[in-house]
Structure 1
């Protein structure tokens, strides 16, 4: 299997990488990228993907496709989804907050953020109080802030944590907001300013904020650390949290046990040297007792147990990864093209898996006539379903779900980031999955998928 994977990924993909357009970044495979369960209704599942999303209303027995055009977003693929108990779906795209009130069939841009030029980066809500929502925005060189809703996202008001106000010009962007499950008064927001990285903490539901500089002296030479995101807060200890930071092209999983005042590195995928893999960290998950941590890279999943000094590289998934825990169940994204599941669950921390979704089993949209998903996605279904391993339609029309018009002052390529960021275009954080195509998978990728799938099926070792 290793030989097959190496040959396919190395020799088959090299010519494509040399001649394919930039949209083929991360190979442009049709992959799942995130998992969201409706609160109080675990039978309802929503899975983000590089080709839109898929939805199940029967505990994963059947899945229906939602195309990007029907969801109403362009090249800014949503990374943070929330499914409220009463049925409202929300997604922070990095350029807008979009929502659906009818189970994913009709999506709209929230009227608060886009008219104000705000780009929602992160979305959080405590399970114990789902009507309370928090949104952080991160548009470089523009006003940003953390916003609060007390009515399930119908209306929002700014908290005192704001940047580029008349009395303050700190040029801060707020990359992520998290709520402590065991104390919902405790909020953490990661951010970046030209002077360095920051963690903002509130102990009174956002009424007041403490600013905690994060100099990361171990990651200060020859260039400074960047890409700081708070990722998780412990279920039982509001002072224990995890974050990620990047330096010299690599990412590190950090842990704090003192409420964010100090962090220590606990996992660096590039240092594991498992099978020659040096990869960028996308996201992480942690067990309820905080004794096991999972770190997802674009292709693999690492597991770090309490007391371990080196993380274990799990044999599966391979080719794509994400992780989301619900109770004692861990939902894991995989790659249908490699091991015949795109989503599975595990009850033993990743040693064995039960398949929930295999992409060839997808069904067409199941929305009422007259809804955008039904009207826009159904005509695309025959071509979509006929693609190897279920890919997206290369001719999929782009829609505006927060991506500004090309060539305008709000063009889809964000403004330059703060001074400590590397000289690359600022874009929404890619927390899971491995495609930057926004659902548009080039035809070259389909050729690769066919080759990989046929080779695997005829290899007796697989």
Structure 2
């Protein structure tokens, strides 16, 4: 579909929405952004999204909505979640650490970080010891540090990696924390300081840290230097092998280290191309169990890089939205319902073929018990939200005893801001742009 006529048709709807906030208040298109399986319970799946989350308790056969207003994260959306074996869900939002003790129906902000005005940026827990959590904080011009919990997030204690200088602007920002799966004593933390990018490494579970300066001379000139270093993954089998990303001049580079973070080599540069007005940049990556295949996701596409190949492969799908998460031999991939009719799929062929698992129109109304925030808040919003993803807006009948005290509806935003014309206008805009996004398949390594 030609984009210019689509834009013209969309602009015709603008007058209908002039009296309301921008459509799609939850960060643009309704898209999936991450997938998390409950450890030890693969039938339980939690999918983060720009519109809150979707949860399945039957291996993806049915999905119910969790609205963002009930998740206690305000304007900060978590990039990933951790689902513990006991059913607890946790996520670092960039401003808070949020937790649900009942599988996503009730959410609270962790008081340890809130009371200290700390901003959790990253959260990690090794699969072999899921009750041991690591949190890094990253509030600019403020004290930051790395914190450890040995009781599943009930309590936290600071490690020796702290930044609290007399001049607040000299403090480090700790962007991400990762644990080596094959040696949980090895912890990596990426960070930025006024003096440049740093990687911090511990070989004794955070008791001591080695600071490794990362000058990245290949990403520097007289005007600018590399920024936003994020450690992304550590190899399943080799604690010295890890992957990170760094940015320079608005471009993103995927890096690999095979010597414990002392040196890095660029292995992928998702070239910044503009199509449909969207700039490409890396938002996440995943690697195979042997570390020889890497998938890099941008907001609209998925690249694959195999060891020994001279070029990256741009996979034909997903198109319009992407994320990747590996569980064993299965790769879970986010997609765009508006383009290819699935929002989450699995592949066992490295992205050559997919088995759809979740499509946005199949999302159902919240299914949490009466009295929980998700039941109380999200059911009220469902009839207005459902049409934006072409789902059935009908609510299932309340079960006996579900009444309780009536609650006022939450403030309406975006496509839910008013009754009548505006939801219809938003729906038409979404339909107008459906299947309009196509891309240039070229890509190059640096």
Please give the range of the TM-score, normalised by the shorter of the 2 chains.
Answer: 0.7 to 0.9
Could you state the TM-score of these two structures normalised by the residue count of structure 2?
0.85
Q: How many residues in Structure 1 have an aligned counterpart in Structure 2?
A: 413
Partner-residue secondary structure (3-state), 1:28: coil
Partner-residue secondary structure (3-state), 1:113: helix
Partner of 1:415: none
Once residues 451 and 373 of structure 1 are traced to their aligned partners in structure 2, the CA distance between those partners, rounded to angstroms, is: 31
Answer yes or no: is the 8 Å Cα contact 1:36–1:82 preserved in 2. yes
Answer yes or no: is the 8 Å Cα contact 1:30–1:389 preserved in 2. no
Partner of 1:369: 370
Q: Residue 447 of structure 1: CA displacement?
A: 3.0
Answer yes or no: is the 8 Å Cα contact 1:338–1:452 preserved in 2. no
Answer yes or no: is the 8 Å Cα contact 2:339–2:436 preserved in 1. no
Per-residue CA shift, 1:405-433, capped at 9, x if unaligned? xxxxxxxxxxxxxxxxxxxxxxxxxxxxx
Partner of 2:107: 107
Residues 309 and 64 of structure 1, relative CA distance in 2, 3 Å threshold:
same
Structure number with bigger Rg: 2
Answer yes or no: is the 8 Å Cα contact 2:268–2:312 preserved in 1. yes
Partner of 1:331: 332
Partner of 2:219: 219
Partner-residue secondary structure (3-state), 1:270: coil
* 2:432 alignment partner, one of 426, 451, 461: 451
Partner of 1:417: none
Q: Residue 122 of structure 1: CA displacement?
A: 0.3
Once residues 88 and 36 of structure 2 are traced to their aligned partners in structure 1, the CA distance between those partners, rounded to angstroms, is: 12
Bigger RCO (CA 8 Å, 6+ sep) = 1
Once residues 391 and 313 of structure 1 are traced to their aligned partners in structure 2, the CA distance between those partners, rounded to angstroms, is: 35
Residues 184 and 390 of structure 1, relative CA distance in 2, 3 Å threshold:
same
Residues 146 and 14 of structure 1, relative CA distance in 2, 3 Å threshold:
farther
Partner of 1:314: 315
Once residues 204 and 253 of structure 2 are traced to their aligned partners in structure 1, the CA distance between those partners, rounded to angstroms, is: 30
* Structure 2: gaps (5+ residues): 394-408, 438-446
* Structure 1: gaps (5+ residues): 400-436, 457-462
Partner of 1:56: 56
Answer yes or no: is the 8 Å Cα contact 1:92–1:123 preserved in 2. yes
Partner-residue secondary structure (3-state), 1:80: coil
Once residues 108 and 90 of structure 2 are traced to their aligned partners in structure 1, the CA distance between those partners, rounded to angstroms, is: 10
What RMSD, in angstroms, separates the aligned Cα atoms of the two structures? 3.2
Once residues 319 and 150 of structure 1 are traced to their aligned partners in structure 2, the CA distance between those partners, rounded to angstroms, is: 40
* 2:411 alignment partner, one of 397, 405, 408: 397
Answer yes or no: is the 8 Å Cα contact 1:31–1:51 preserved in 2. yes
Answer yes or no: is the 8 Å Cα contact 2:144–2:174 preserved in 1. yes
Partner of 1:378: 379
Per-residue CA shift, 1:223-271, capped at 9, x if unaligned? 1111110000000010000000011111000000110001111000117
Residues 13 and 210 of structure 1, relative CA distance in 2, 3 Å threshold:
farther
Once residues 111 and 292 of structure 1 are traced to their aligned partners in structure 2, the CA distance between those partners, rounded to angstroms, is: 40
Q: Residue 16 of structure 1: CA displacement?
A: 9.1
Answer yes or no: is the 8 Å Cα contact 1:8–1:452 preserved in 2. no
Per-residue CA shift, 1:102-127, capped at 9, x if unaligned? 11111111110001000000000000
Once residues 11 and 265 of structure 1 are traced to their aligned partners in structure 2, the CA distance between those partners, rounded to angstroms, is: 42
Partner of 1:424: none
Once residues 295 and 373 of structure 1 are traced to their aligned partners in structure 2, the CA distance between those partners, rounded to angstroms, is: 33
Q: Residue 5 of structure 1: CA displacement?
A: 6.6
